[in-house]
Structure 1
Amino acid sequence: MISSFINRRKLKPRQSINLSTLNEMSRAWYYYIEGDPFEASSYVYSPCRPGCREGYNICSIYADYHSGLPSLSDNLIFYIADGLETGLPQPQVPAGAKKYVYMKHYS
């Protein structure tokens, strides 16, 4: 079992969940490992929020949990493309929006 930031509002303090309890609509962080950033198989699940923010390489994405792989929606694919172009976490609009794509300076 792992401590989880996923569904934090639903968890009581010091309660933890097992990966098998994540339902298909939960969101989770996935680190980019290598390959095509537009393919789910290029990411690995992470129980931790990323420490990176900006740069011209994909760091991690916040996506729907789908059997251990991220579910890449059309919006998320658009955010990934924008991140690669701008080097900034995405989305940038509206101001203060929840970020779903984080970037990094190193590959």
Structure 2
Amino acid sequence: RWMAPEVIRHHPYSEKADCYSYGVLVWQLLTRENPFALHSQLEAAGKVALEEARPQFPIVTPSCIQKLIENCWAEDTRERFSFQIICENLQNGFDLSQEEEKWMQAPFGHPVYEE
């Protein structure tokens, strides 16, 4: 669920695999859900490694947050953010509207799966 596709495929990997996992973790903090919760671990791994699937975003996710996460879990590791770039993005902060700020602070997260 949190493993980078190259790790699942048993290909060589670098710290960028950890950046992928970080992106999934940020998504999980945002939604308060497990990635691919409606699938078994094996199915989830197959979706990530073979179909290039990623967890879906809640509706109205602030674009700057979605972009950060998407850059963390890019399929091509050369396009994937490094931790240095992730840290720079976090240090620069996000330009959120008042409505987006309120959305981000929702105490119960933003579910994406039907219950």
Q: Give TM-score scaled by structure 2 length.
A: 0.29
The structure whose RCO (Cα within 8 Å, separation 6+) is larger is 2
Q: Give TM-score scaled by structure 1 length.
A: 0.31
Higher strand share: 1
Higher helix share: 2
